[in-house]
Structure 1
Amino acid sequence: MSAPDREYLLDGVSINGLPKVSLHDHLDGGLRPQTIVELADEIGLQLPRSDASELGRWFAEQSNAGSLVQYLKTFDVTVGVMQTRDGLARVAREFVEDLHADGVVYGEVRWAPEQHLQRGLSLDEAVDAVQSGIDQAVRAVEATGGYIRVGQLVSSLRHNPGRTREIAELAVRHRDSGVVGFDVAGPEAGFPASTMRTAFDYLAGEWFPVTVHAGEAAGLDSIASALLDGRALRLGHGVRIAEDLLVERQDDENTYVSLGLLAQWVKDREIALETSPSSNLQTGAIAQWGESLVEHPFDLLYQLGFRVTVNVDNRLMSDTSLSRELSLLTEAFAYRLDDLETFQLNAAAAAFLPIEEREELVDRIALGFDAV
């Protein structure tokens, strides 16, 4: 049984059944292996493994290289089968189904439409195809008495900055039909948000919310550029903000830490950190602190009062689910249900929704945790 299909317990309570919020979840990183096999067969795409189970293991093995660049190479396969309207719609529909099965009540799915034009789709047609799949799944969940809401985050690829303004305009064009925000993804080192400043100026003028991958494969300068040039309201991963923390001393009960100006700014303004524990280990994002989850700066950031959120990044590559990520954190840091609830409330507060709808989401989460 793969990790996403397992049940995870804490104090006898199913983590899977708790209401959860997913903010950092890539569409092309969440495909079912069997779907990849079937879609590849339809378009004649050769795969590294033809059996779905073996293909799933291949993704997990290839993703443990300790390098973001190597990690990203696995997406050549998933993006390859997401080049038709039917393919995109199916992947999006199953994506939402899997979120619902994992207890997610609100999710934001990010993806880069510019990567899905190889078989003749336009940018707008690609966005419409994904939305059709999302809508179909949401209706199916509601028909069974369930609840889920999902919004699109349209991503631009930072190594193709000349197209960022076009993608920003695409996102704004679809703001009333499912797109809730804008993201910048791809190789981080060497591509700061400042190289896309024109697009970010446009988005700011349109009052359109932005999250930027920063503090994963690059450090404090990248985070600063995301905030100053990108006007980011959230940081994709953001774990390397811990480089701006100085542990001054420790005793048996306490750790005394001072914050640099950037870290203090992120904390004081409650800029959400979209951490993805398993992915952060796989890509080497936390290598300077260690190679195991217990060495992840997540807990230090949490204890210091940063708005930490827990995410999967790419379920397929990390062979994970949001419930599994939460379970791993409870094992590493002895968290209890109250802590898991805090992580969900943090995510709800940072969701790209109107304030009234965020408050409704907070109430839904609180009721779900109170019921256990």
Structure 2
Amino acid sequence: MLGLSSLRTARLVAGASGLHRMVRRLNVMEVPDVLPWVKADELILTTGYPLRQLPSSLIGLVGDLDDRGLAAFAIKLARYIDELPADMLAEADRRGFPVILLPEDVGFDDILNQVLTEILSKQAAALAHSDEVHRTIMATVLAGGGLDEVTAKAATLLSQAVVVAIGTEGAILASAGPEGERMSGMAELVKTELPARGVVNLAGGGTAIVVPITAGDFDHGWLLAARRDGMHATDTLTILERAAAAAALTITQKLAVTAVEARYQSDLFRDLVEGRLDDVERVLDQARWFGWKLQASLVLTVTTVQPVPNQSPRSRRDDLERFAAAWRLALEGHIAGAAVVVVSDQVLTLLPVDQPEA
């Protein structure tokens, strides 16, 4: 902003370490009690008129404005206040809160016009960039890409960041990024207590920006962009949010397919157990598709999983599906072709048992 023609002769007198702050709004201080009317990321302008009788209040004002997340404080001296208190400038330097002296020959209308034009231009550019990111990521999904491809596309757009999708149980669902960094950051990311949204510090150094992966009222986990140097690109949040929306779509699609497949498996299981075998070849074909081994002696087991008190039906179903998946995985290494399905509140298993040779 200081490069605009109306502010080119303005002087930064304190808070130089805060020049990176983003200006997204403008405000003019017309009353001493301005705090109820300020907002984060504002550049506040004043002639000092509201403070002319209490210039010492400027010291506390710096802290109050900084605590509310304002971008900077700009004042025009001479007319109502001759100089700024040294304690105020020291406090601004300590906080990294920019204090700017406005040129006497420039009117507020010129500053307001130019700064607002610059803000709107940047917002328009940000919207255009966000739209382009959205199209790029959605093109990946429309081309048949899943969570792995969406994560990889986000990592490509972010260039130097490791992008990780983490499920609600803490498992890494997908990851992509610079090869040298990928594995070294995984354990730390999973162990970190993740916020719903924000920035987390990594134990090995660096930071990660976190956004949730949500679809409606359902949480599917988090998407993170991690950098060892902590130097995240300005569009990191935009890219992550678009990628998280696409990730939620791919996860929802996968869950829908899994639910349909589970329904078919349950129906086939019931047909087998209840002896409804009108078309044996069709049943055998479907069983082979699911990886079940039916051309053997079979043992039926029924497992009941104790419910958690006050558990919602969806949470109960999720617990049963997780148990069934874990049970299925445990069986794979020992009994090939076992059929494991969730029926109502139970997990049913058909175990193929080879007949002993005569």
Give the TM interval when normalised to the shorter protein: under 0.3
TM-score (norm 1): 0.25
Please tell me whether Structure 1 or Structure 2 has the larger radius of gyration of its CA atoms. 2
TM-score (norm 2): 0.26
Higher RCO, Cα 8 Å, sep 6+: 1
Larger helix proportion of the pair? 1
